[in-house]
């Protein structure tokens, strides 16, 4: 629970506030952009919500904040906010919310499909979310984009009996017992509408998941910079090899997609042609100006 005694001075007066335990994961700023922004490495409330819709986004942020840094002076929960998570995005894909501090607040997603649902990366193992995922059909497979975002994978595996899949280069002690291992750099098809694309760079075993040639789950390989309104890759948080990450970005040029759903950073939806242009621009910036 957020603590009013630890309130950040940047918050505007009013019901909602962010306290000093914020880890600057960025979630609230893209989940409720009319209320939260970032300043000096922490989030703050720059404007109090003024409509029911905005209030709901704030309450979804309260549920999703990995460290409970968002508080309400009214000490009221968000009636109905739990019903809004997971939130439908497009083509049977849902944003889960309930970020985990273990993955530094990374986003996770659920793909709902008749052959069995897929959870992309691990949210917090939170009871309201578990109930909602059960209602949506459970989890058959847990796809882990890379080693940073595995969070509560073991609890999800035990509860839902789901298989887990991760690239061999990212397997460590905590993930030593996962059921399926991706080896090498070849693109693999899980089914006709799902492809796994290894994209080493951010980590040695980073992989993207492409759903229906339309939605690309990118982990920390690729995201959207909502300030600059352009695709983004972080050299600062490239733990493995920046030149390999550039090569992996070039590899993505060979695929079509209109959505980028990242672990960290904002998601984006662009027409296919525009996405292609944006990706080319990012590759150019990665190779010349970064």
Place of tokens 């993505």: 252
CB closer to ligand SF4 out of 20 and 131: 20
Q: Give the three-class secondary structure for 275.
A: helix
CA 205/CA 197 separation, integer angstroms: 10
Q: Do residues 118 and 143 touch, judged by C-beta distance below 8 A?
A: yes
DSSP E strand stretches across 50-177: 70-72, 87-90, 93-95, 109-111, 118-120, 141-143, 163-167
Sign of CA dihedral 271, 272, 273, 277: positive
Q: Do residues 28 and 43 touch, judged by C-beta distance below 8 A?
A: yes
| Exposed/middle/buried for residue 135 (C-beta within 10 Å: 0-12, 13-18, 19+) | exposed
CB closer to ligand SF4 out of 43 and 209: 43
Write the binding mask 89 to 128 for ligand SF4: x where contact by CB under 6 A, - elsewhere.
----------------x-----------------------
Place of tokens 């600057």: 24
What is the footprint of Fe ion within residues 144-163 (CB under 5 A)? 148
CA 146/CA 157 separation, integer angstroms: 17
Hey, how many other C-beta atoms are within 10 angstroms of the C-beta on 263? 27
From the centroid of its chain, how far is CA 288? 28
Choose from Fe ion, ligand SF4, none: what does 121 bind? Cβ within 5-8 Å by kind. none
Choose from Fe ion, ligand SF4, none: what does 148 bind? Cβ within 5-8 Å by kind. Fe ion
Residue selected from 8, 25, 110, 129 as contacting ligand SF4 according to rule CB under 6 A: 25
From the centroid of its chain, how far is CA 192? 24
What is the footprint of Fe ion within residues 120-149 (CB under 5 A)? 148
CB of 206 to Fe ion, least distance (A): 8
Choose from Fe ion, ligand SF4, none: what does 8 bind? Cβ within 5-8 Å by kind. none
Cis peptide before 101 (omega within 30 of 0): no
CB of 25 to Fe ion, least distance (A): 12
63: contact with ligand SF4 by CB under 6 A? no
81: contact with ligand SF4 by CB under 6 A? no
Residue selected from 10, 37, 67, 89 as contacting ligand SF4 according to rule CB under 6 A: 67
What is the footprint of Fe ion within residues 190-229 (CB under 5 A)? 220
Residue selected from 22, 151, 216, 266 as contacting ligand SF4 according to rule CB under 6 A: 22
Q: Do residues 177 and 197 touch, judged by C-beta distance below 8 A?
A: no
CB of 167 to ligand SF4, least distance (A): 27
Write the binding mask 34 to 53 for Fe ion: x where contact by CB under 5 A, - elsewhere.
--------------------
Choose from ligand SF4, Fe ion, none: what does 220 bind? Cβ within 5-8 Å by kind. Fe ion
151: contact with ligand SF4 by CB under 6 A? no
Residue selected from 7, 10, 23, 89 as contacting ligand SF4 according to rule CB under 6 A: 23
CB closer to Fe ion out of 39 and 237: 237
Token reading at 63: 């549920």
Pairing verdict, β 118-120 and 141-143: parallel
Binding residues for Fe ion, rule: CB under 5 A, are: 148, 220
Binding residues for ligand SF4, rule: CB under 6 A, are: 18, 22-28, 43, 61, 65-67, 69-70, 105
């Amino acid at each position: 629970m957020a603590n009013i005694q630890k309130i950040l001075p940047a918050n505007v007066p009013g019901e909602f506030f962010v306290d000093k335990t914020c880890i600057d994961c960025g979630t609230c700023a893209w989940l409720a952009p009319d209320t939260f922004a970032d300043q000096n490495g922490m989030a703050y409330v720059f404007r109090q919500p003024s409509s029911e819709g905005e209030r709901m986004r704030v309450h979804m942020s309260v549920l999703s904040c990995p460290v409970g840094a968002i508080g309400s002076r009214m000490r009221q929960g968000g009636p109905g906010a739990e019903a809004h998570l997971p939130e439908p995005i497009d083509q049977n894909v849902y944003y889960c919310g309930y970020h985990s501090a273990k993955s530094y607040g990374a986003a996770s997603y659920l793909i709902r499909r008749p052959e069995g649902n897929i959870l992309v990366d691990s949210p917090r193992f939170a009871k309201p979310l578990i109930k909602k995922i059960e209602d949506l059909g459970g989890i058959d497979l847990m796809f882990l984009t890379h080693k940073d975002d595995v969070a509560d994978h073991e609890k999800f595996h035990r509860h839902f009996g789901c298989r887990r899949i991760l690239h061999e280069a990212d397997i460590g002690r905590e993930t030593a017992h996962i059921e399926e291992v991706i080896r090498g750099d070849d693109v693999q098809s899980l089914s006709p509408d799902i492809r796994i694309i290894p994209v080493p760079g951010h980590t040695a075993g980073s992989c993207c998941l492409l759903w229906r040639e339309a939605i690309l789950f990118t982990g920390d390989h690729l995201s959207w910079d909502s300030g600059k309104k352009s695709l983004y890759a972080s050299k600062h948080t490239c733990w493995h090899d920046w030149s390999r990450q550039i090569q992996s970005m070039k590899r993505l040029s060979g695929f079509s997609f209109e959505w980028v759903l990242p672990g960290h950073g904002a998601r984006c939806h662009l027409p296919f042609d525009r996405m292609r242009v944006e990706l080319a621009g990012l590759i150019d910036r990665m190779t010349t100006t970064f």
